[in-house]
């Protein structure tokens, strides 16, 4: 049944708020490319579009493109501008109204920042940009469910953390969970396997068939982003549940195998890194508000 969703979904609407920023950037800024890259990095629907095009057979790249930086160099300035404009012209309608979509985009961006920080802090050499991209697009399946089931999904809080209970409810309603739907979409768009696995198993990294470090880091980054969001909105009671899910024995075991030290002290370090990045990027916060 859910194969129907995959066929239906080929692109995502961009949020009108960010569309306006992109339009202004394209029309007014001389130094458009760095500005556009910044905008693509904070609106994951744009990031998905850019990665999708860079991985399309049209460009004939043998090695798949897993980072936004590489996608920009494959596509070039005019292609990116054209993509952004086309997307804005044709796809601004249909996205949820209200503040939860902004909270959702913010959450995706925070998850990307933490995933990149964790990847950078490990003794093994990992491409931090690839983890940034994985964190940014991890919840793409939530938008997929939203688009294909507007009425049924409109009551769901799109930015809320998916506890095992919420995932179970999601499956009962849609016959698929957002993580696996996201994986199927990325497969359809021939994304690199690292991103496909990261998205598909970001709630169940222990079940990943290979490249487990990708979903594991996104799993941890997702929870740290949610802890930060809880702190910001004084929902402190949720923090203990999030930490409990993060420190579950099954997760600790695979983290140890992947040489990631999953300790409370590290959690605080990653959380503090996120806070300091956000404080030092006031221009990013301004992009999220009108
Ligand atoms: Fe998720
Ligand atoms: Fe998430």
Tell me the CA–centroid distance for residue 136 and ligand 2, in Å: 9
| DSSP code for 147 | H
Long-range contacts of 19-25 (CB under 8 A, 24+ apart): 19/87, 19/88, 19/92, 21/287, 22/46, 22/84, 22/88, 23/85, 23/88
SS3 76: coil
Q: Which residue segments constitute the domains of the chain, with CATH numbers given?
A: 11-91 (no CATH), 99-287 (1.10.3210.10)
Q: Look up residue 142 and give its DSSP letter.
A: H
- CA-based max dimension of the chain: 52
- Of all residues in the chain, what percent carry a pLDDT higher than 70? 78
What's the average model confidence in pLDDT over 37-65?
81
Among the residues of 43-176, which ranges form H helices? 44-54, 68-75, 77-91, 99-121, 128-136, 140-148, 150-153, 164-174
Residue 29 has pLDDT above 70, yes or no: no
Distance (angstroms) between ligand 1 centre and the Cα of 127 equals 22
Pull the structure tokens for residue 113.
């920042």
Task: Name the pTM for this structure.
Answer: 0.82
Residue 284 has pLDDT above 70, yes or no: yes
Q: Are 112 and 133 in contact (CB under 8 A)?
A: yes
Ramachandran assignment for 74, one of left (phi > 0), alpha (psi -120 to 50 degrees), beta (any other) = alpha
Alpha-carbon dihedral sign for residues 217, 57, 83, 145? negative
> What is the pLDDT confidence band of residue 247, given thresholds at 50, 70 and 90?
very high
Report the separation in Å between the CA atom of 138 and the middle of ligand 2, taken as the mean of its atom positions.
6
Ligand nearest to the CA of 111: 2
pLDDT given at position 92: 47
In sequence order, which residues have a C-beta less than 8 Å from that of residue 207 and are 6 or more positions away?
Answer: 201
Q: What is the pLDDT of residue 63?
A: 80
**Contact yes or no for 114/217 (Cβ under 8 A):** no
* In the predicted structure, residue 228 carries a pLDDT above the cut 50: yes
Give the pLDDT confidence score for residue 176 in this predicted structure. 92
Q: Compare 72 and 21 and report the one with higher pLDDT.
A: 72
Average confidence (pLDDT) over 227-254:
91
Work out the angle at residue 138's Cα, subtended by the Cα atoms of residues 112 and 94, and round it to the nearest 5 degrees: 110
- Convert the pLDDT of each residue in 78-104 to its tens digit: 777 777 766 665 554 445 555 577 788
Cβ distance 13 to 94 under 8 Å?
yes
Q: How far is CA 220 from CA 61, 68, 106, 227, in A?
A: 31, 21, 17, 11
C-alpha 203 – ligand 1 centre gap (Å):
6
**Mean pLDDT computed over every residue of the chain:** 82
């Amino acid at each position: 049944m859910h194969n129907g969703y995959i066929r239906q979904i080929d692109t995502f609407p961009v949020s009108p708020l960010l569309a306006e920023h992109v339009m202004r950037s394209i029309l007014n800024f001389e130094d458009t490319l760095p500005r556009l890259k910044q905008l693509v990095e904070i609106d994951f629907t744009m990031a998905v579009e850019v990665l999708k095009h860079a991985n399309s057979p049209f460009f004939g790249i043998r090695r798949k493109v897993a980072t936004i930086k590489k996608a920009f160099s494959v596509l070039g300035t005019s292609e990116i501008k054209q993509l952004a404009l086309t997307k804005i012209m044709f796809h601004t309608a249909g996205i949820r109204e209200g503040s939860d979509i902004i909270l959702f985009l913010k959450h995706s961006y925070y998850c990307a920042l933490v995933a990149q920080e964790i990847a950078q802090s490990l003794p093994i050499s990992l491409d931090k940009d690839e983890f940034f991209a994985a964190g940014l697009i991890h919840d793409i399946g939530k938008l997929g469910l939203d688009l294909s089931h507007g009425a049924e999904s409109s009551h769901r809080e799109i930015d809320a953390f998916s506890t095992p209970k919420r995932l179970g409810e999601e499956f009962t309603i849609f016959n698929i969970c957002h993580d696996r739907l996201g994986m199927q979409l990325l497969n359809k768009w021939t994304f690199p396997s690292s991103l496909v696995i990261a998205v598909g198993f970001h709630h169940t990294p222990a079940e990943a068939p290979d490249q487990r470090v990708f979903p594991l880091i996104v799993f941890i980054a997702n929870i740290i982003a949610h802890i930060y969001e809880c702190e910001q909105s004084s929902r402190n009671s949720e923090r203990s549940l999030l930490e409990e899910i993060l420190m579950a024995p099954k997760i600790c075991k695979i983290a140890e195998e992947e040489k990631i030290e999953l300790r409370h002290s590290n959690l605080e370090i990653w959380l503090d890194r996120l806070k300091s990045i956000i404080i030092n990027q006031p221009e990013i916060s301004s992009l999220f508000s009108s």
